[in-house]
């Protein structure tokens, strides 16, 4: 037997042992860590999901940053700045979690600005009024929380741990959105109308954030077997509707959906039809702001290239200086 | 906990003042004290407005966070100073921020200057942070306890701003040829507005040991600047100082646009609360 054959043989053994351990860990609801053996598909699916999530945080900064300079009170300005800054932080944890799977952040950023990677399509809608800032916090961050709380238990350790921190901050974000809407709903008739208009526009897109209906979501099954995802798109969407039905009463506003009802038989909240055609259009790049969001991200990245190069060159020169001195 | 370990935003006895606490103070500042608080509050507010633009546009995500944080600190300082000033005239921080006209603002021209590229923003930050650090380090001894308390909190935060701007000044000056060229250009565009920061004004004569005399900060500022520029192998820009006037309400052409954006929504719905 040649050496190569021995190596190949032991690799097969390692893979078999690795796969066995992986399957056991998943079955025990335990965690997979970066150095553990994992199936290539698991790595690929996670890298895609985590990087898309990171991109969503980063692109999602833009619609809200759009109102930082115009926030109508200094307190609101401070809160909004802190919120958008948190989102940059979330992007950072998530890129770091994705890096543990072997893809560097630069590569993920390149894919994003080359249009090869996706981000949550809700950020391709325009943020027209101040009330939209409230509706985004309440509905969009609310939907994100419903989606993300179960991800705190995702089988991949770095992802689950990043999500714990993300979820804590997201719950503040949702509260600030709710507070903005509450203030507007109790304000002047014009402010109240502004709030209702924003809820009308953001309701359906926020429901579509959970992804296509279960029968059209082929990747979900595998993701649930791997315990990355714990609940189906439709189940999470139904839970979200149930939460919003209660909260909207406190706001004294209405959800623009006459068909919301609780189904006693299934134990689920049901909602009216959603325009999945529009969802696909926006996802395919034909939303109102897709081009604008991509251009802004590309511009920031390209305009900043000389700064990143300078920091790297400086670090190299300093390292050389210390090496010489040593 | 030692001072070195203390968090910049940790609330400690003597500097626990939040804008909400200041609004509830029994004492009202004299008109001159309030005018002085406007100087500092307006500088912080306009700077925050400028820096806020960078969030989602910075060269690196870490800088979105850093510049956002600095803007957030400045908004906090602005809120405290403006709330205190407003106590003299029964006005809120928002009345002052959103419903004054341009000539009623007291910001210096430096903070009104455009962001430009990252180097120009860093040059402006370098000057502002070093100046504010000298200022707040002295204002903690003000005989006005509220100003002293606001300064005590602010100085810890501005210390980080100083570190951030110095670190970047060194990196840009000694990074690549391009970054060096841009840093030099940024400093050159910024330097005309340095002189106004240290120009005395009759108001400070009136205030005695309540305020910090701007001219008294110049030599320590110059020394701090020189240390950094020497390390970065940069020259002090050789450009004439610009005539200021911000403290008298005579502003650069930029302020009108900044205020138009800052105030648009609040003025569209006067009397509304948010």
Q: Is B8 exposed, middle or buried (0-12, 13-18, 19+ CB in 10 A)?
A: middle
Nearest-by-CA chain B residue for A59: B56
Contact B82 A300 (CB under 8 A): no
- Residue B1 confidence (pLDDT): 38
Least confident stretch, A4-18, A99-113, B218-232: A4-18
A320 alpha carbon, distance to own chain's centre: 40
Selected for mutation to probe chain A from B47, B66, B96, B175 (highest A CB count within 10 Å) is B175
Distance (Å, whole) CA A225 – CA A214: 15
Rounded average pLDDT over A276-280:
94
Predicted ipTM? 0.93
Contact A304 B174 (CB under 8 A): no
Contact B69 A92 (CB under 8 A): no
Contact B78, A74 (CB under 8 A): yes
Contact A130, A188 (CB under 8 A): no
Contact B76, B20 (CB under 8 A): no
- Determine the topology of domain B13-234+244-268 in CATH: Ferritin (1.20.1260)
Rounded average pLDDT over B187-193:
98
Contact A69 B49 (CB under 8 A): yes
- Residue A220 confidence (pLDDT): 84
Query: Quick one: DSSP state of residue B3?
Result: G
- Annotate A92-144 with DSSP letters as a single string: HHHHHHHHTTT--HHHHHHHHHTT-S---GGGGS---SHHHHHHIIIIIHHHH
Buried-state track A8-47, b at ≥16 Cβ within 10 A, e below 16: eeeeeeeeeeeeeebeebbeeeebbeeeebbeeebeebbb
Closest CA to B77 of B136, B30, B25, B130: B136
pLDDT digits (tens, 9 = 90+) for A115-160: 999 999 999 999 999 999 999 999 999 999 999 999 999 999 999 9
- Residue A7 confidence (pLDDT): 61
Selected for mutation to probe chain B from A59, A71, A84, A88 (highest B CB count within 10 Å) is A88
pLDDT at residue B14 is higher than 90: no
Tracing tokens 């999602």 back to the chain, one arrives at A60
Please state the pTM of the whole predicted model.
0.93
Contact A73 B175 (CB under 8 A): no
pLDDT at residue A188 is higher than 90: yes
Structural tokens at position B84: 């205190």
User: Residue B52: which of A81, A191, A303 has the nearest Cβ?
Assistant: A81
- Residue B13 confidence (pLDDT): 47
Q: Which residue has the higher pLDDT, A229 or A11?
A: A229
Count CB pairs under 8 A between chains A and B. Answer: 146
Confidence of residue B9 (pLDDT cuts 50, 70, 90): very low
Least confident stretch, A8-12, A25-29, A48-52, A246-250: A8-12
pLDDT digits (tens, 9 = 90+) for B66-122: 999 999 999 999 999 999 999 999 999 999 999 999 999 999 999 999 999 999 999
Contact A138, A196 (CB under 8 A): no
DSSP H helical ranges for B108-176: 109-112, 118-139, 145-174
Residue A166 β-bridge partners: none
- Residue B6 confidence (pLDDT): 42
Query: Quick one: DSSP state of residue A231?
Result: S
Contact B68 A73 (CB under 8 A): no
Longest dimension (CA), chain A: 85
Confidence of residue A68 (pLDDT cuts 50, 70, 90): very high
Q: Which residue has the higher pLDDT, A27 or A10?
A: A27
pLDDT at residue B4 is higher than 50: no
């Amino acid at each position: 037997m040649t050496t190569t054959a021995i190596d190949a043989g032991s690799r097969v053994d390692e893979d078999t042992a690795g796969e066995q351990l992986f399957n056991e860990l998943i079955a025990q609801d335990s965690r997979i860590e970066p150095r553990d053996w994992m199936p290539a598909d698991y790595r690929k699916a996670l890298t895609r999901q985590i990087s898309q999530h990171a991109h969503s945080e980063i692109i999602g900064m833009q619609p809200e940053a759009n109102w930082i300079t115009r926030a109508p009170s200094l307190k609101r300005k401070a809160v909004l700045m802190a919120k958008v800054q948190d989102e940059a932080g979330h992007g950072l944890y998530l890129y770091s979690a994705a890096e543990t799977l072997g893809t560097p952040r630069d590569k993920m950023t390149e894919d994003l600005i080359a249009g090869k990677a996706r981000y949550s399509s809700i950020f391709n809608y325009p943020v027209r009024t101040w009330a939209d800032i409230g509706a985004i916090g309440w509905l969009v961050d609310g939907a994100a929380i419903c989606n993300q709380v179960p991800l705190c238990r995702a089988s991949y350790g770095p992802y689950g741990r990043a999500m714990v921190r993300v979820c804590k901050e997201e719950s503040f974000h949702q509260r600030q959105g709710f507070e903005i809407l509450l203030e507007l709903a109790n304000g002047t008739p014009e402010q109240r109308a502004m709030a209702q208009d924003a809820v009308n526009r953001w309701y359906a897109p926020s429901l579509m954030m959970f992804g296509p209906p279960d029968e059209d979501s082929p990747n979900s099954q595998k993701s649930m077997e791997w315990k990355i995802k714990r609940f189906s798109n439709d189940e999470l969407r139904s839970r979200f509707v149930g939460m919003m039905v209660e909260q909207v009463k406190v706001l004294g506003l209405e959800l623009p959906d006459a068909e919301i009802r609780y189904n006693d038989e299934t134990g689920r909240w049901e909602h009216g039809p959603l325009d999945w055609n529009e969802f696909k259009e926006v996802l395919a790049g034909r939303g109102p702001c897709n081009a604008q969001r991509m251009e802004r991200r590309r511009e920031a990245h390209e305009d900043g290239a000389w700064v990143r190069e300078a920091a790297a060159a400086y670090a190299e020169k300093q390292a050389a200086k210390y090496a010489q001195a040593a | 906990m030692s001072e070195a370990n203390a968090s910049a935003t940790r609330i400690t006895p003597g500097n626990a003042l939040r804008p909400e606490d200041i609004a509830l103070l029994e004492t009202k500042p004299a008109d001159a004290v309030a005018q002085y608080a406007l100087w500092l509050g307006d500088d912080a507010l306009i700077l925050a407005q400028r820096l806020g633009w960078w969030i989602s546009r910075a060269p690196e995500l870490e800088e979105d966070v850093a510049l956002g944080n600095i803007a957030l600190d400045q908004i906090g300082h602005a809120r405290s100073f403006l709330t205190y000033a407003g106590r003299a005239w029964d006005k809120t921080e928002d009345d002052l921020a959103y419903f004054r006209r341009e000539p009623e603002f007291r910001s210096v021209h430096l903070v009104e200057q455009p962001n430009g590229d990252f180097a120009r923003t860093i040059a402006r930050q370098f000057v502002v942070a070093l100046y504010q650090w000298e200022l707040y380090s002295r204002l903690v001894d003000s005989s006005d306890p509220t100003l002293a308390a606001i300064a005590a909190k602010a100085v810890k935060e501005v210390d980080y701003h100083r570190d951030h701007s110095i670190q970047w000044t060194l990196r840009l000056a000694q990074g690549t040829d391009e970054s060096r060229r841009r840093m030099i250009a940024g400093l050159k565009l910024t330097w005309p507005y340095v002189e106004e920061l240290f120009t005395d004004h009759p108001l400070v004569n009136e205030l005695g040991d309540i305020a910090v005399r701007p001219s008294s900060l110049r030599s320590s500022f110059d020394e701090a600047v020189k240390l950094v520029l020497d390390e970065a192998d940069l020259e002090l820009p050789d450009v004439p100082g610009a005539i200021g006037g911000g403290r008298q309400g005579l502003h650069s052409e930029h302020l009108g646009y900044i205020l138009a954006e800052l105030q648009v929504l609040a003025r569209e719905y006067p009397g509304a609360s948010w």
